[in-house]
Structure 1
Amino acid sequence: MKRFLIGQYGAFDQHKFERDFREDFFGIEACLLQTDEDMMALRQAAREHSFQVGIHFPLRDRGLVIRDALFLSPDPDERRDAYRLIQEELDEIAQLQLNPAYILFHYPKPIILDDRVNWSTWHFSDRREYVFESEYSFEEFKQRTEELFHWLTGQSERYGFVPVLEFDALNQYVYDSGVLEELLQKYRSIRLCLDTGRLYLQERRDPSFQSVRLVRKYAKYAEVIHLWNLQYGDGFVKLRYPVLPEQLPSEGWAPIAEYLHIIREENPDVKIQFEHRSDLVSDEDLERCYRWVSDMLTS
């Protein structure tokens, strides 16, 4: 279980830590902490329990409308602001002596949307958070992605962390071309995060997207998997549910067992961050979730 993490978002929740964390887990992924006390509690717990910290950018909640860095923006001023925000956070993290194992950023940002898909039910914080594929060329995507990879590689060497890009909604530039794989092979310190719930949700809303194919294509480049399930049906979506073996795709659940089978084949040492709402299940079912995932990845 040294590959497993739990999340702490918004605050360092001592009750969640005591209920969800296990002493043989890899660590905690933190995001949007609101106070200095939360930062100190995270650092102190990491030292006392000898676990690693992963950071989901931004670590500190600065009250911004868009929390993500828009490093692929068509607007050069927005791109400069994005890199500045990341740099400021890297400096603060260094001052806090959190020594994160990885720092994760949503990618691509802005999201590049397939014009053929109805995105009205996809969550966006602000109109600046997305651009349509018809307005954003493949060459722009390739150039700005390589600029990002080059910059993050330098920062990772300077500050000593693994840069991780978590896929947001994706278009054919990512799932139908080989350019991102080429860049991942060129800039080998850059790694990915695959979010099981988000990938499945896009498959249910985007007829051109196949989540299993995407997992097969990119699992080998993953540093961490954000693992949670959702049940999708007519008129409802059950979100952020802990994964359990009885959740059948025939009943609208994501094919978690198939994802885990591919991940075990392609990347057996990848980290698993349980990005679920543990309060939705009993203590017994939470333990069953941990045990099932461990068995799926090792048996």
Structure 2
Amino acid sequence: MNQRRMQIGMWGGFDASAWERYALPGINGLELCQLNGERELQEASLFCREQGIAFGIHAPALRNDAYTLPKLTSSDEGERAAALRHMEEQLAQAKEVGAEYVLAHFPYPAHLPAKRWEAVARLLPTPDVYETHPPQEERVFADIGNRVFDSLSELQRRYEQRIVLEYDFFGDYENIFISLFAEYNEIEAVLDTQRLDVHAKAFPGFDPYRFIDGIAPYAYLVHHSNVMYEEDGMKRHLPVLPEHGEDSRFGDAAAYLERISRRNDRFHLLFEHQASRVTIEQLAACYRTAAQTIGLFR
């Protein structure tokens, strides 16, 4: 269970047949999110134990009426308290079913940088979710961040259950974001190669490689997928294929993964893509190329 993993994800329900279709050789982990009740979570847990698969939980583990992430960095104290209660519930549930980690977004609600290229930024889904109103001042963001990391570190120790935080848009507070992981090294980071590209294309001043160099040493997990830009939208969560590097419509996910690998040789990799969009042969090429990039085989 402690070996380095390449994982696939299941969002919105557990489907053992999807594992049979998409867990090609080399895949040895699973991430679950928004399952249809306790019974399905128990079923998924039993499947993983029988198959010898390590799995993690992207909070929330169970489906609600509306998909909601815990608002850990809300300006509203009541919302932050509710988010921490939610995280404690997730940790207790994860420990019961044998999950390897619990993942939440940080910061959330996310911050959009003040400067933006509107041609790309306007394509972001549900922009109301990606903005804190009014934007937090730097000192407020830092104070809330420290409170959140303090609380999560205490919960992680109490439940002996790993917590990882997935990078989300942090406005103009990149240095504070990185410093929190440096100071609270019990909590580890999750990077997202698709989000890195959108971040770089939508917001001038953000250098994804500079950010990777700063945060990669604290990364536990990388979510790997690509994005294709179109005139009126984006196609997201695409499998990263070798030919994407020759097509300017696609993001630079492969290059980001390579840069992360230079700074960290311990992280696990989750293919956060819609595998059904490509052929099995293309999917195998996606897995093989990523495995070579992160040094699982040469």
Structure-2-length-normalised TM-score: 0.90
Structure-1-length-normalised TM-score: 0.90
Question: What's 2:167 paired with?
Answer: 167
| CA distance 1:50–1:200, shift in 2 (3 Å) | same
Structure 2 CA distance, aligned partners of 1:249 and 1:155?
Answer: 45
Instruction: Report if the CA contact (8 A) 2:275-2:283 is conserved.
Output: yes
Structure 1 CA distance, aligned partners of 2:194 and 2:129?
Answer: 24
1:63 is aligned, of 45, 65, 73, to 65
Question: What's 2:249 paired with?
Answer: 252
Residue 187 of structure 1 deviates from its aligned partner by 1.2
2:125 is aligned, of 123, 126, 131, to 123
Instruction: Report if the CA contact (8 A) 1:23-1:49 is conserved.
Output: no
Q: Which runs of 5+ in 1 are unaligned?
A: none
Within a 5 Å distance, the mapping from 1:17-96 to structure 2 comes to 17-22=19-24, 24-64=26-66, 67-94=68-95
Counterpart of 1:130, as a letter, is: E
Q: CA RMSD in A?
A: 2.1
Corresponding position: 1:153 with 2:153? yes
Counterpart of 2:280, as a letter, is: D
Residue 236 of structure 1 deviates from its aligned partner by 4.2
Q: Which runs of 5+ in 2 are unaligned?
A: none
Three-state SS of the structure 2 residue aligned to 1:111 is: coil
Question: What's 2:228 paired with?
Answer: 231
Aligned pair count? 291
Three-state SS of the structure 1 residue aligned to 2:164 is: strand
| CA distance 1:183–1:17, shift in 2 (3 Å) | same
Structure 2 CA distance, aligned partners of 1:217 and 1:273?
Answer: 21
Three-state SS of the structure 2 residue aligned to 1:240 is: strand
Residue 152 of structure 1 deviates from its aligned partner by 0.9
Counterpart of 1:270, as a letter, is: F
Structure 1 CA distance, aligned partners of 2:100 and 2:25?
Answer: 18
Instruction: Report if the CA contact (8 A) 2:112-2:130 is conserved.
Output: no
Which range is displaced more, 85-94 or 163-172? 85-94
CA shift digits 1:182-209 (9 cap, x unpaired): 3222211111111111111122222222
Structure 1 CA distance, aligned partners of 2:151 and 2:214?
Answer: 25
Structure 1 CA distance, aligned partners of 2:186 and 2:19?
Answer: 30
Corresponding position: 1:216 with 2:213? yes
Question: What's 1:107 paired with?
Answer: 106
